[in-house]
Structure 1
Amino acid sequence: MKGELKHDRHSPDRPRGRRQPCAKSSSSRADDSSGGGFTLVELLVVVAIVALLATVLVPSLRRGLELARAAVCRSQLNGLVKANQLYASDNEGYYVPAASDIWWGVAGNLHRWHGVRKDLASPFDPSRGPLARYVGADGKIRQCPSFRDFRTGAGAAAYEAGSGGYGYSDLYVGSQFWKTGFFHNSPGQLRGAKRSDVKDPAGTVMFTDAAMPQACGGRAYYVEESFCYCPLNLDAAGKPDPRSPRQPSIHFRHLGAVNVGWVDGHVDPRRDFRSVRSNIYGADPQAMMVGWFGPEDNSLFDLE
């Protein structure tokens, strides 16, 4: 009939190949609902797989993160060595003193290579340090990214607060105690070694990762430390004294390694760790991975 619409099987408003909906039986609905979710057993299997993957992957991720932090640390140590070289170029060839007034009793002990403090109970201010013009006033370059778990304090607990995570060679590159002798008010504290005094720049330590283990109330912790202590103290003539071992401060914080900045500017990790079981602060340096590397003498620190 004219004007009457006819729908054949090829009509465009009836998509080809699509079946018309039909009512589902109750049994079909039951089957669909049971297949649309997880059973308890399946859920437990998924949880177990996720837990297994976490057990395998998390340590690897943590290791990767620490390797990245160690790389940043090496870059910062390299920057500190270069800053000290620039300081020497501007100061008649003398490296920055480690602590130019450390033997001046209550009237001194306020100056370090990394900053100055107003009194013994205050942290060091990096903006006033002798290297600030070379590394920036904020002091961030001396903050090792892996050194986060340490105690800060004020008053008697201040110790070397504000020094960051790196230590400087205080008896050799950072002073002239090796020349004048190590004794109270020795003039060796006033300036660092001269660049020309260092006979083997590639084999002489300038900076390392550093921390000082302490303990109080049965709990051990780290505090900041300004110096990387060589194994032996010096005597009044400036010679190593085997009867006077020093407290360890070199911190093997990077997966059992310590980063070392040498006078020539190269930085490398060392893993040949050794230490002692107790220090004067009641802590166990060996358990806290603070010690030394290399020979038991001062040969990696002296200027020969």
Structure 2
Amino acid sequence: MKLFRASRGFTLIELLVVVAIIAVLVSILLPALSQARERARTVLCANQMRQLNLQIVQYAHEYADFFPQSEVGGTFYGYTGGGLPWCTLPLGGEKTWPVNSGLIRCPSVQRTNYSWRSMDIGYNAWLGYPGGSAWSPGYQFVRTSQVDQPSDCALLGDISLSQFSDLLGDGLYRIFEYGSWPSYRHGGQCSFFFVDGHAKPMRMDEAEPLYFVGGWRFAPPMAQPFWWNPW
């Protein structure tokens, strides 16, 4: 009669070796997967900026080539932050232009408690600054055709959230003001969208020399095309 010998199982050492190999593979693959996810979020963020740019272009086409206003007050107040389904671009009057506020939420920002103050993507306020206030007449709005170097002039960018932040935008009453800081959250880079329609990620050491003027961040950039200022 033929005897069947029981199959040999794994020894403890063999199991430990297999576990160690799996752990090494996971340690190699996880960073790569994490980087791939971040690249996907960066692409999505840039696409959202592209959608915002299309909104601004459409606004300019309908309003005599003018950029959306960036600092408003008085009767021009409008709740505009990421906590609302729509934000509004003031038109120099009580009418507003609706913009999907989901576009100002960066997918790389791990936040669920968006309030009506919250924004992750901002607008270069110098392009929409009217040179006055709601209480003084004679607004001097800026036309897109006034930008001499549109390929070098930032239009939109990632910003660091601050409850009452200013430069690239806040969302508290005023749709865009001046004072917030660019955020380098995409692998050490900040995504910028320029007036001519192209997008470019930039490291801090690339961008900061462009927006430092006289040693002060975001001072009126008289000779700097990055933050172009018509005044």
What is the TM-score with the length of structure 2 in the denominator? 0.74
CA contact (8 A) 2:82 2:105 kept: no
Name the aligned partner's letter for residue 167 of structure 1. G
- Picking from 106, 117, 138, the partner of 1:144 is 106
1:13-52 matches, within 5 Å, as 22-24=1-3, 29=5, 32-33=6-7, 35=8, 37-52=9-24
- Picking from 122, 130, 136, the partner of 1:176 is 130
Identity %: 25
* Number of the residue aligned with 1:294: 210
Shift of 1:23: 4.4
Give a deviation string over 1:182-237, Cα, whole Å, max 9, x none: x795668x675212221111111111011236xxxxxxxxx6967427xxxxxxxx
CA contact (8 A) 1:260 1:267 kept: yes
CA contact (8 A) 2:130 2:142 kept: yes
Name the aligned partner's letter for residue 173 of structure 1. L
Name the aligned partner's letter for residue 89 of structure 1. H
Name the aligned partner's letter for residue 100 of structure 1. V
SS of equivalent to 1:129: strand
CA contact (8 A) 1:176 1:191 kept: yes
Higher Rg? 1
Shift of 1:55: 0.9
Q: 1:76–1:295: structure 2 CA closer, same or farther, 3 Å change rule?
A: same
1:80-95 matches, within 5 Å, as 80-95=52-67
Structure 2 unmatched ranges of 5 or more: 91-95, 170-177, 214-220
Q: 1:110–1:43: structure 2 CA closer, same or farther, 3 Å change rule?
A: farther
Give a deviation string over 1:137-185, Cα, whole Å, max 9, x none: 4x322222112247545xxxx6x23x3x201112x112123xx5xx795
Deviates further, 258-267 or 139-148: 139-148
* Number of the residue aligned with 2:88: 129
Structure 1 unmatched ranges of 5 or more: 1-21, 214-222, 230-245, 275-290
- Picking from 185, 188, 193, the partner of 1:261 is 193
* Number of the residue aligned with 1:78: 50
- Picking from 5, 8, 27, the partner of 1:55 is 27
Shift of 1:100: 2.2
- Picking from 140, 155, 160, the partner of 1:211 is 160
CA contact (8 A) 1:199 1:303 kept: no
- Picking from 132, 137, 146, the partner of 1:197 is 146
2:58 and 2:140 map into 1 onto residues whose CA distance is 15
1:201 and 1:68 map into 2 onto residues whose CA distance is 27
Shift of 1:89: 0.9
1:225 and 1:100 map into 2 onto residues whose CA distance is 15
What number of residue pairs does the alignment pair up? 207
Give a deviation string over 1:53-76, Cα, whole Å, max 9, x none: 111111011011111111111121
1:226 and 1:148 map into 2 onto residues whose CA distance is 21
Q: In angstroms, what is the RMSD of aligned CA positions?
A: 3.4
